[in-house]
Chain A
Amino acid sequence: MGRSRAGRYGVHVFLTAVSLGFLAPLLLAVYASLRPYEETAAHGYLSLPRHLSFDYYRQAFTESGMGRYFVNSLLIAVPGVLLALFFASFVAFAIARLRVRGQLALLVLFTAGNLLPQQVIITPLYVLFNRIPLPYWMSDSMTMYDSLWAVIAVQTGFQLGFCVFVLSGFMRTLPQEILEAAVVDGAGVWTRYWRITLPLCRPALAALGTLEFTWMYNDFLWALVFISNGEKLPITSALNNLRGQFFTDYNLLAAGSVLVALPTILVFLLLQRHFIAGLTLGASKG
């Protein structure tokens, strides 16, 4: 590989150039967020800095109440991920490790569901959520519509398909002998799932959880459609509001974007191996 020295340098130059090109927009956003808008308005984003400060971050956080939106995002993504993993892992277990009728149909039903365009299901869900009453302590709108429950339900339902697909593929690679031994020993379905199969799936669950978290955190459309009260929006959708409020001040927006992106970038940098494993579990199993 890389027979000639020149060829090897060529590859490095090329990869470095592409990498820098990929990083540049991110760095630009960070740079813009540190400078006053008047300065970039007068000199453009590529000018040398005169003032650098974290003012916009403070402003984005205090004036637009981003803290609350972060909490909303967590309130959606954390239960969403856990529920999706829990339910999907059992379905995957039934598909891959038990003899249940209609396994193939189940797999197709869930997997195909995840691939549908989101817009196809918006209207009926909108109507449905408006008609499901919830007690006041669960939702101050008294319906499922305009509550975090709606977004959690949709995120969970929508992502179930991908999780089932990935986990059933993973479970199929586990040695069947352990399970058979447990059956001989009289272990019921629950024991076989909870105490024998799930622990073996730990790497897959971690990978999938990381991936699903970023997906749910990043989603933009569901909250936009199912939540009307701006206070309840998750952060990614709320960023749109920040834009409406200060639509001329791109630097504030840049600070907001960096803040919003920070959690996923951190998750990625810290859990990179899990993250990539999660993506590729579904892609190159077998």
Chain B
Amino acid sequence: MATTGGKVRGTGESGRTGAARGTGAARGTGRSRGPGKSRGRARRRGTRRYTRRDLAVLGVLLGIPLLLDLVIIWGPTLASVGLSFTRWDGITDIQWAGTDNYRALFTDYPPFWPAVRHNLLWLAFLGLIATPFGLLLAVLVDRGVRFSRFYQSTLYMPVVLSLAIVGFIAQLVFSRDQGALNTALGNPDDPVDWLGDPSLNLWMILLAAGWRHVGYVMIIYLAGLKSVDPELKEAAALDGAGERQIFFRVVFPALRPVNVVVGVITVIEGLRAFDIVYAVNKGRNGLELLSVLVTDNIVGEASRIGFGSAIATVLLVVSLGFIVTYLVQELRGERNR
């Protein structure tokens, strides 16, 4: 592994000269290969036939990642769907259960609907509050105010933190007895249990998750804003459009591809949310999420693998809806380009 790594880094240096040599050769300097062979190749350029060596390289270097992707991602995904129709504790024989798991999930598993609700709330919060706020910050920073680099770095800083750490920091701020928030509020006689109260804690966690999400969204929009053609804005200004109008009628529509990406990131983050609630209280007592339920059923003491897989499958179906929409959008854009 280390040697592969060395090679990857090594090419950076040697590779550049390689590329230069390659172009030089192409201009007619000639290379050590037989002239007849290269002429034959030139004639066949349209068809791009591969030599045996080429095929071997392709086979190995496409084969390994493809295998890895199938074994690590897609195989297990399909297996999960299959397992969701079984009863299994991981040790004894697997029993076919038909749709029992799903029936139990929808009717007879108290944490399920709260978890769905929390996931939806998570999505709504990120999508309707955190994402627009990130866009607003991007627009402000993009106007070229002084210190914009400082603002950009500070706002982005939380994104490099692990959500696990964000969870711990949330405890420092929100804990009941010595937490900074209660101290700042000055209510020692009647402290609010921000993280313990099941009707409050989700909101506090959403704030903490939003802390990271806002910076992430901001950076992506900043890049998008920089790629909007300034002439468009100037033309609109000449036509007498106000700043607000320019933004909503010209800039925002031009950001459509970025909006799609941000939308998907938001949805995926909303559905995948796990680390932060797990770090705070293992996703119990008001912080249930689908991802937590899957982990609990599979990794936890219960070991209800079939049942956990059914929850995972529900999560998968919802995610796939968004993934497919996104890829269709992306690929359509690709064709238009």
List chain A positions with a Cβ less than 8 A from chain B.
1-2, 8, 11-12, 14-16, 18-19, 22-23, 25-26, 28-29, 32, 40-41, 44-47, 78-79, 82-83, 85-88, 90-91, 94, 98-100, 104, 106, 108-113, 115-128, 152-154, 156-158, 160-161, 164, 178, 180-191, 193-196, 198-200, 202, 205, 214, 217-221, 224-225, 236-237, 239-240, 243, 250, 253-254, 257, 260-261, 264-265, 267-269, 272, 275-276, 279-280, 282-284, 286
State A218–B333 Cα separation when bound (angstroms).
32
Question: Is the pair B38, A124 in contact by a Cβ cutoff of 8 Å?
Answer: no
**Is B69 among interface residues, defined by CB-CB distance under 8 A?**
yes
Interchain pairs with CB closer than 8 A, number: 381
Judging by beta carbons under 8 Å apart, are B22 and A196 in contact?
Answer: yes
Q: Which residues of B contact A160 (CB under 8 A)?
A: 65, 68-69
Cβ-neighbour of A44 out of B74, B180, B294 (below 8 A): B180
Give the docked Cα–Cα distance between A156 and B65 (Å). Answer: 9
The 3 closest A-B pairs by CB, nearest first: A181-B26, A157-B72, A195-B18
Q: Is the C-beta of B305 less than 8 angstroms from some C-beta in chain A? A: yes
Q: Which of B105-113, B124-132, B192-200, B308-316 contacts A (4 or more CB under 8 A)?
A: B308-316
Report the minimal beta-carbon distance from A240 to chain B, rounded to whole angstroms.
Answer: 7
Q: Check B184–A28 contact: CB distance below 8 A.
A: no
Q: Say if the beta carbon of B96 comes within 8 Å of chain A.
A: no
Given contacts A117-B312, A283-B258, 15 further A-B contacts (CB under 8 A): A19-B150, A44-B179, A79-B5, A98-B58, A118-B291, A119-B290, A119-B291, A120-B76, A126-B299, A184-B41, A189-B54, A218-B164, A250-B171, A260-B165, A284-B224
Report the interface size for chain B: residues with CB under 8 A from the other chain: 134
Max chain B Cβ within 10 angstroms of own Cβ: one of A12, A25, A78: A25
Report Cα–Cα, A280/B261, bound state, in Å: 10
Min CB–CB distance A137 → chain B (angstroms): 15
Q: Assess whether B251 is interfacial by the CB under 8 Å rule.
A: no
- Chain A residues contacting B50 (CB-CB under 8 Å) are 189
CA distance A29 to B169 in the complex (A): 6
CB pair A117 B183 closer than 8 Å: no
Given A2-B143, A153-B68: A282 touches B261 (CB 8 Å cut-off): yes
Are A158 and B73 CB-contacts (below 8 A) given A23-B157, A82-B1, A118-B272?
Answer: yes
- Pairwise interchain contact B154-A116, C-beta atoms closer than 8 A: no
Instruction: Give chain A residues whose Cβ lies under 8 Å from the Cβ of B312.
Output: 117, 119-120, 122-123
Tell me how far the C-beta of B251 lies from the nearest C-beta in chain A, rounded to whole angstroms.
12
Which residues does B use to contact A, with CB under 8 Å? 1-2, 4-5, 7-9, 11-12, 15-16, 18-19, 21-23, 25-27, 31, 33, 37-38, 41-42, 45, 48, 50-51, 53-54, 57-58, 61-62, 64-66, 68-69, 71-77, 79-80, 83, 90, 137, 140-141, 143-147, 150-151, 153-158, 160-165, 168-173, 175, 177-180, 182-184, 211, 215-216, 219-220, 222-224, 227, 243, 257-258, 261-262, 264, 268, 271-272, 274-275, 278-279, 290-291, 294-295, 298-299, 305, 308-309, 311-313, 315-316, 319-320, 322-324, 326-327, 330-331, 333, 337
